[in-house]
Amino acid sequence: MLIARVIDDVLRTEGGYVNDPQDKGGETNFGITVAVARANGYTGPMRDLPVALARAIYTARYITGPKFDQVLAMHAGIGAELIDTGVNMGPRVAAEFLQRWLNGFNDTGARYPALTVDGNLGTQSLGALAAFLAWRGQEGATVMLRALNGLQAARYLDITEANKTQRRFLFGWLRTRVAL
């Protein structure tokens, strides 16, 4: 199943238990923050968070909830990119990145209606992505992936410029999160 493979990739990237006092994400296990774990009913020590619960959280909060599963069905690469960005920056941010680029690539405005950039992938946003992929094909998907990664990289730089303590993470974020 494609969703299981995407979650496997996220788990590999996120690793296990981390409690770095300089990491703004705070205490995590499998990339799940303590706040997210608590919001999902987990009360135990983060070090002991079950991987099955992490998978369930990823599925509900970062895949099906924001409708990235529907993007995965249209294009696995774009869907996986949105999931990865959503895990690291929040699903709303990932969806906004896609909506912004879909608007930007709709040069004449005639391919699909302009989107409201609200971070919610509804029927209009998903329809716009389908129309974009039908129009531009695999080359369009490749360019979209580059565009999404470009915004992700720029946001990491913005984070580190606003908070210099986060600079120690910048190289790793780009190495593991921004694909070639």
Map out the domains of the chain as residue ranges. 1-63, 68-177
Bigger pLDDT: 27 vs 109: 27
Which pLDDT score is estimated for 81? 95
Per-residue pLDDT at 118 exceeds 80: yes
Residues 6+ apart with CB under 8 A from 65: 91
Q: What pTM was computed for the model? A: 0.92
What's domain 1-63's architecture? Up-down Bundle (1.20)
Residues 6+ apart with CB under 8 A from 30: 11, 14, 15, 16, 49, 51, 54
Per-residue pLDDT at 3 exceeds 70: yes
* pLDDT tens, position by position, 15-65: 899 998 888 778 999 999 999 999 999 999 999 999 999 999 999 999 999
Angle at 100 between CA 160 and CA 165, to 5 degrees: 5
Which pLDDT score is estimated for 110? 80
- What type of residue sits at position 100? R
HSE-up (13 A, CA, CB side) for residue 112? 23
CA–CA distance, 149 with 142 (Å, rounded to integer): 11
* pLDDT tens, position by position, 4-23: 999 999 999 888 999 988 88
Which pLDDT score is estimated for 21? 85
Which pLDDT score is estimated for 176? 85
Bigger pLDDT: 148 vs 109: 148
Helix, strand, coil percentages (3-state) for the chain, rounded to 5, are: 70, 5, 25
Mean pLDDT across the stretch 132-149?
96
- What type of residue sits at position 121? L
Per-residue pLDDT at 180 exceeds 60: no
Residues 6+ apart with CB under 8 A from 5: none
pLDDT class of 133 with cuts at 50, 70, 90: very high
